[in-house]
């Protein structure tokens, strides 16, 4: 083990890292080797990571600050953190879907599709009512 190699976190294989990762701390080199490793566990971990990133991106577009650009109001950061937690659970196989009722008018459903992707659906129902 020297500063040019890293170890896959799953199968323990040592590899020489790409030029750009050389001289980085051991942890970073291990990460680079793990991400590039072809063992089944490492590949699964990469898929899970990608799934989480994509779903978080959907949440940000539908519920975060970016939502304002498509004319819907952003949801509180605390609720978005809960959505991220749901995404982690789904990506890791602990949940299939979850519905978060944000307020009386707004709900967000996060679930695994048959294609294995994570879908985020936000429903806002607007009721206008007056009483005098």
Provide the binding-site residues for Zn ion, judged by CB under 5 A.
8, 10-11, 37, 39, 42
Which tokens is 67 given? 């939502």
Q: Which is nearer to Zn ion, 45 or 72 (CB)?
A: 45
Rounded distance, CA 1 to CA 66, Å?
45
Which strands make up the sheet holding 97-103, listed edge to edge?
A: 97-103, 106-112, 118-124
Minimum CB distance to Zn ion, residue 107 (Å): 40
Q: Which is nearer to Zn ion, 35 or 89 (CB)?
A: 35
CB of 13 to Zn ion, least distance (A): 5
Closest CA to 1 of 29, 31, 43: 29
Shorter beta-carbon distance to Zn ion: residue 41 or 65 = 41
Minimum distance of Zn ion from residue 128's CB (angstroms): 57
């Amino acid at each position: 083990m020297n500063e040019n190699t890293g170890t896959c976190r799953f199968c323990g294989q040592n590899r020489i890292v790409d030029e750009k990762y050389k001289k980085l701390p051991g942890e970073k080199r291990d990460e680079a080797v793990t991400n590039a490793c072809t063992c089944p566990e490492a590949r699964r971990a990469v898929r899970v990571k990608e799934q989480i990133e994509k779903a978080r991106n959907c949440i940000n577009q539908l519920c975060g600050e970016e939502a304002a650009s498509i004319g819907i109001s952003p949801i509180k950061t605390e609720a978005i953190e809960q959505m991220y937690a749901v995404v982690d659970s789904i990506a890791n196989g602990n949940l299939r879907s979850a519905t978060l009722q944000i307020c009386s008018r707004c709900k967000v459903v996060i679930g695994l599709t048959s294609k294995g992707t994570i879908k985020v659906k936000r429903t806002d129902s607007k009721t206008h009512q007056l009483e005098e």
